[in-house]
Structure 1
Amino acid sequence: MFTEKFTLDKNYFTECFEESVAFSDKAKPKYPLLVFLILLSGLAWFVLEKPYVASFIALVALLEVVAFVYRKPWWITRQMLSRASGSLVTLQIDERGISAVNPYKQYQLTWQDVQQAHKTNKGVVLKTKHGMQYISKAVISPESFDYILEQTKI
């Protein structure tokens, strides 16, 4: 029904992250883990009197904070280093669902697989039991975007 083509580049990956992170379970820091690590570090330092162990645990907590703060550049860099970066994606949108093919990966997403759909300012996030897929308005025609919204009932 609709066939769209686009390239996986840094701008696309950046938009992908920015538009879908709000719907991810990784949108907030892992507060319980951080509290646990800090308490464990304090326990090791003051009760067990093991400053090396306490320092190590505190550094693990700090690493968790750094990983959260820099999650966007880290994710984009990982995508840019992947084989798929720079490749041409062919998106096929029809009454069965959405299929995407590039030289390194292909996936089929049926409309029945979509559990939730969230329209964003720049595209749509489709949630399935296997994860999320983001489709940007900038890389597909307005007709195909409207068709996706119609099929997902948002």
Structure 2
Amino acid sequence: MRLSTTYTLDKPYYYECFDESLPYSSQAKPKYPLLVLLITLGLLAFYQLENHYLGSFMIMLAVVECLSFYYKRPWWVARQMMSRASGSEVTIVFDDEGVKAENPHKSYQLSWQQISEIIETERGFILKAQRGMQYISKQALNDEITAELNKRATQ
């Protein structure tokens, strides 16, 4: 078996990648313990230490953390769009050894043994491995590749 396909790394692909991967990521929820800690330290600095600069700084850090969670999606997509790989064409090859993806700026290879889980989402597949997740959109896949990924996901 040797199947291949290509797709372009563009803004709609990045938005889809973020939206489909987020529920399976550790970044899906705000860091509530960190927020509580920062606000508590800020209030302690205000009222116990009477250090308004330190208290304001801690509370502003909590606000920045909230803003970073709220604007996580556009910030992530903007960073991807500024990368060298943005706009390039990616070629993915599925064979008996695993999955290989390559564009002019970056490549990765995952053997089937390295892939711990294949998750089918509404619009694509997430390949989970020890060193992270890779998202592949169904728009880029043909029926043969989709069937192969579904077969391997159930194994």
Normalised TM-score (structure 2): 0.97
User: What is the RMSD computed on CA atoms of the aligned residues?
Assistant: 0.9
The runs of 4+ residues in structure 1 deviating greater than 4 Å are: none
Q: Give the structure 2 partner of residue 49 of structure 1.
A: 50
Normalised TM-score (structure 1): 0.97
Mapping of residues 81-92 of structure 1, within 5 Å: 81-92=82-93
Give the superposition deviation at 1:67.
0.2
Distance (Å, rounded) in 2 between the aligned partners of 1:149 and 1:79: 28
Long gaps (5+) in structure 2: none
Give the superposition deviation at 1:93.
0.5
Distance (Å, rounded) in 2 between the aligned partners of 1:44 and 1:117: 48
Q: Give the structure 1 partner of residue 131 of structure 2.
A: 130
Identity level (%): 46
Q: Give the structure 2 partner of residue 151 of structure 1.
A: 152
- Is the Cα contact below 8 Å between 1:2 and 1:93 reproduced in 2? yes
Instruction: Verify: 1:118 aligned to 2:119, yes or no.
Output: yes
What is the letter of the counterpart of residue 94 of structure 1?
D
Q: Give the structure 2 partner of residue 12 of structure 1.
A: 13
What is the letter of the counterpart of residue 21 of structure 1?
L
Long gaps (5+) in structure 1: none
- Is the Cα contact below 8 Å between 1:29 and 1:68 reproduced in 2? yes
Mapping of residues 26-37 of structure 1, within 5 Å: 26-37=27-38
